[in-house]
Amino acid sequence: MNKPLVWLRLATACLGLSLTMLAWSAEDITVGQVAPLSGVLADTGKDMVLGVKVYFDYVNDQGGIHGKKIRHVVKDDGYKIDETVLRTRELVDKDNALALIGFAGTGNVGELLKQKILERADIALVAPYTGGDILRTPFNPYIFHIRAGYEDEAEGIVNQLVMLNMKRIGVMYQDDAFGKAGLAGVEAALKRRGLEVAVTGAYEKNTDNVANAVTEIAKANPQAVVMISVNKSTAAFSKAIRPVSTVAQLVNISVVNPKEIARLIGYDNARGIGIAQVMPFPYSATLPIVKEYQKAMKRYAPGAELSYTSFEEFIGAKVLVEGLRRAGPNPTREKVIRALETLHAFDTGGFTVTFSPNNRIGSRFVEITVIGKDGRLLR
């Protein structure tokens, strides 16, 4: 075969491949998600991804957005900051994500801001699974929060404890940006009531080695302890503190899974632990959004357990989809940001999210739940 003919056929094949790739990309909207699918937060990460996936599957079955299907690209960071940065760069530069959704970790997302990754890509991150104040103040135009902040959660927790006449309150926290943000929130809430934190105990991120925190807090023997921690460390501390103190109440912020805690330390040890929540109760279909979530879970994730985490990211996906719709049939990253800004009092179905050009904090909803005798949450 002569060389001109070979090159002609090769060029024709490459052109065909290029056209195929262009057609494929034109039909899809790529949304990227980085989540901790391994490591100490793996169970939470899997629920985060599930909630997003279920809603995207539902939307795609309804015809997608302006006729385009959503391509959900997920990467694991193991809850490690350097991995979060690396995987985000891949989503932005290689996968050409139009928007991002549902990352975890105050320090992890904070590093994205520090390195200006979102700013340089001009890309929105919707529904990060963190309430850290450093991601909210000063104002950052690229992150759209649908959950209340840790300061809001701390205010709700402290208010509840003080109403129960518990004024000697300690704090067990993860020694990083996430834990320190929660600690600062508790300190501020107590200060507003003329009180101070009775004692603190810290543990290292990505471990459940809470021995030092248990020792320090047991010495002061407070009436209650607010835990700013994740599943495994919360479970380890809750089990260890009770035999060595008379602490009457343990309360964690919203980033833990009660069923995982009960699995780790047993129903008896988990019973009575309070958990702040920043989403409506997902186990009772009293709201349209809960009914929608439960129906979608049954169809697209049969057998999967309902959880606050998957429900939160389900709502986050619904918010992002509305932004993508409003961005029009030919969306760009900038158009998506501008579209999300128009969600003024957007009712997802009984849970309202409000954004504007100068506001990215969509909700301040907080309520307190308690782990019951069978590991289930009670309101």
Cβ atoms 12, 229 nearer than 8 A: no
- What is the sign, positive or negative, of the torsion defined by CA atoms of 304, 309, 310, 311? positive
Q: What is the pLDDT of residues 264-297, one digit of tens each?
A: 999 999 999 999 999 999 999 999 999 999 999 9
CATH superfamily of 11-149+285-364: Response regulator (3.40.50.2300)
Q: Which long-range contacts (CB under 8 A, 24 or more apart) does 41-44 make?
A: 41/79, 41/104, 41/105, 41/230, 41/231, 43/231, 43/257, 43/260, 44/104, 44/129, 44/230, 44/231, 44/255, 44/256, 44/257, 44/260, 44/309
Cβ atoms 325, 66 nearer than 8 A: yes
One CATH from 3.40.50.300, 3.30.2320.50, 3.40.50.2300, 3.40.640.10 for 150-277 = 3.40.50.2300
0.85 surpassed by pTM: yes
User: Pick from 377, 133, 205: which is nearest to 277 by CA?
Assistant: 377
The residues spanned by each domain of the chain are 11-149+285-364, 150-277
Q: What is the pLDDT of residues 58-85, one digit of tens each?
A: 999 999 999 999 999 999 999 999 999 9
Q: How far is CA 61 from CA 183, 254, 299, 300, 327, in A?
A: 44, 32, 11, 11, 20
Q: Do the first three CATH levels of 11-149+285-364 and 150-277 match, i.e. the same topology?
A: yes
- What is the sign, positive or negative, of the torsion defined by CA atoms of 285, 289, 295, 298? negative
Here the tokens at position 347 are: 């009712």
Q: Number of C-alpha atoms within 13 angstroms, CB side, residue 12?
A: 6
Cβ atoms 201, 191 nearer than 8 A: no
CA–CA gap between residue 117 and residue 33 (Å, rounded): 15
pLDDT at 91 over 70: yes
Neighbours of 303 (CB within 10 A): 6
3-state SS, residue 214 = helix
- According to DSSP, the residues that pair with 203 across neighbouring strands are 174
CA–CA gap between residue 327 and residue 323 (Å, rounded): 6
pLDDT at 3 over 80: no
Here the tokens at position 248 are: 């009457």
Q: What is the pLDDT of residues 321-371, one digit of tens each?
A: 999 999 999 999 999 999 999 999 999 999 999 999 999 999 999 999 999
pLDDT at 45 over 80: yes
CA–CA gap between residue 133 and residue 182 (Å, rounded): 9
Q: How far is CA 358 from CA 121, 133, 186, 311, in A?
A: 20, 16, 27, 27
pLDDT at 12 over 80: no
